[in-house]
Chains A and B, each alone.
Chain A
């Protein structure tokens, strides 16, 4: 699974795991029914406390992103296409929050900030 953690980033490790699972679901890398690695496998691979992984999994299950069936591996829950669209926007929002704060600290007008965002999006497409 494509999960990496940086324990020193100041973001709790369980939250890093949750964010990446949600990102992969929104991005289509994880699809409904896909199995997640068992807690102890993932914790050993990432070199983190197994409780951290089970906390992330439990919260994702509570949020409806994952589904647990007795005696079987945890799987990605089925989401309606419109829910996935919402999730994509949610993901983008959380990635942009740092940029928004920077724009405010730099006293940029919203129009100027949006122009930069649009330019960067379009340049990236051409590459």
Chain B
């Protein structure tokens, strides 16, 4: 069943400069999707459109089959949301913020809230403005999880957190996942977090979806080829191949990302370019991201 369905979404903030230019994204129940892309690639815009916080200029959004603009309360009741730029009321105490959320959500789970307060070591009497960034994010996560949402939308949830706080955030989300099978869509610049948590990665690039594959596919059926610099026109020839996602010219070689496993990528380069000494290998997401985001297409 489709929990989130975005179809042909267009959005720009300045005429002629699209942030999202015909984006399709469909997420099924229980899936964990990592949203990747450079700063300004449109990840936040996409999440805000899904939340109903922002209007698309063209296209349709359905969350649990509902339009988030037509039925905002029904949709938001089923969503947990945490963002890097979330502002919690600074002068309220932790206890009061939790109470506020409890009163808004009929499905609030008191036991879970108590468990998370203890786990995070949060002191209920402390005012939000005195919390560290990591603690404030933990309060936000608690508020997002304890009404047991069917969909978690996390916009760069680990941004600015130290490594241990990030891991705890991840583990708490993972637990919610095993307990209730929550669907998660999260954007992150920490690509190893995406590799840990996500089933699937969606990369936004040039206002469009460039990659939408499972993490296992990205690890096994994509590769980076290192092609020595001769003859002239190597990078153009590589770019002309439909399986090539992008090339990046370095001093002594051209790096190319292929939608093929290493053996097939090397065979294709030999066949089409006549180059026999290219080297192809699988790579982690971070390396692939840098090759694509930093290269040409």
Measured CB to CB, the residues of A under 8 A from B are 7-14, 39-40, 43-44, 46-51, 105
- Asked if A11 and B196 make an inter-chain contact with CB atoms under 8 angstroms apart, the answer reads no
- For A10, the chain B residues whose CB sits under 8 A away are 219, 281-284, 287
CB distance from A109 to the nearest CB of B (A): 19
What are 6 inter-chain pairs, A to B, with CB distance below 8 A? Answer: A7-B195, A7-B196, A13-B215, A40-B175, A44-B171, A47-B167
CB of B170 closer than 8 Å to a CB of A: yes
Q: Which residue of B lies closest to A39 (CB)?
A: B178
- For A51, the chain B residues whose CB sits under 8 A away are 32, 199
- For A47, the chain B residues whose CB sits under 8 A away are 167, 170-171, 174, 196
Contact of B174 among A9, A11, A12, A44 (CB under 8 A): A44
- For B175, the chain A residues whose CB sits under 8 A away are 40, 44
- Asked if B198 and A49 make an inter-chain contact with CB atoms under 8 angstroms apart, the answer reads yes
- Asked if A11 and B219 make an inter-chain contact with CB atoms under 8 angstroms apart, the answer reads yes
Q: How far is the CA of A21 from the CA of B281 in the complex (A)?
A: 24
One digit per residue, 1 when the CB lies within 8 angstroms of any chain A CB and 0 when it does not, for chain B 215-230 equals 1100110000000000
CB of B286 closer than 8 Å to a CB of A: yes
- Asked if A8 and B216 make an inter-chain contact with CB atoms under 8 angstroms apart, the answer reads no
Q: How far is the CA of A43 from the CA of B176 in the complex (A)?
A: 12
- Asked if A49 and B177 make an inter-chain contact with CB atoms under 8 angstroms apart, the answer reads yes
- A8-B195 contact, Cβ under 8 Å, with A14-B216, A47-B167, A49-B32: yes
Q: How far is the CA of A82 from the CA of B197 in the complex (A)?
A: 38
Most chain B CB neighbours (cut-off 10 Å) among A12, A13, A39: A12
- Asked if A7 and B167 make an inter-chain contact with CB atoms under 8 angstroms apart, the answer reads no
- Asked if B196 and A48 make an inter-chain contact with CB atoms under 8 angstroms apart, the answer reads yes
- Asked if B282 and A11 make an inter-chain contact with CB atoms under 8 angstroms apart, the answer reads yes
- For A14, the chain B residues whose CB sits under 8 A away are 216
Contact of A9 among B170, B216, B279, B284 (CB under 8 A): B284
Q: How far is the CA of A81 from the CA of B178 in the complex (A)?
A: 37
CB of B26 closer than 8 Å to a CB of A: no
- For B195, the chain A residues whose CB sits under 8 A away are 7-8, 13
CB of B285 closer than 8 Å to a CB of A: yes
Q: How far is the CA of A80 from the CA of B284 in the complex (A)?
A: 37
Q: How far is the CA of A17 from the CA of B294 in the complex (A)?
A: 32
Q: How far is the CA of A105 from the CA of B287 in the complex (A)?
A: 23
- A13-B174 contact, Cβ under 8 Å, with A8-B191, A47-B167, A49-B32: no
For the A-B complex with A49-B199, A50-B177 known, give 20 more contacts whose Cβ atoms are closer than 8 Å.
Answer: A7-B284, A8-B191, A8-B285, A8-B286, A9-B284, A10-B281, A10-B283, A11-B282, A12-B216, A13-B195, A13-B215, A44-B174, A44-B175, A47-B170, A47-B171, A48-B196, A48-B197, A49-B32, A49-B174, A50-B174
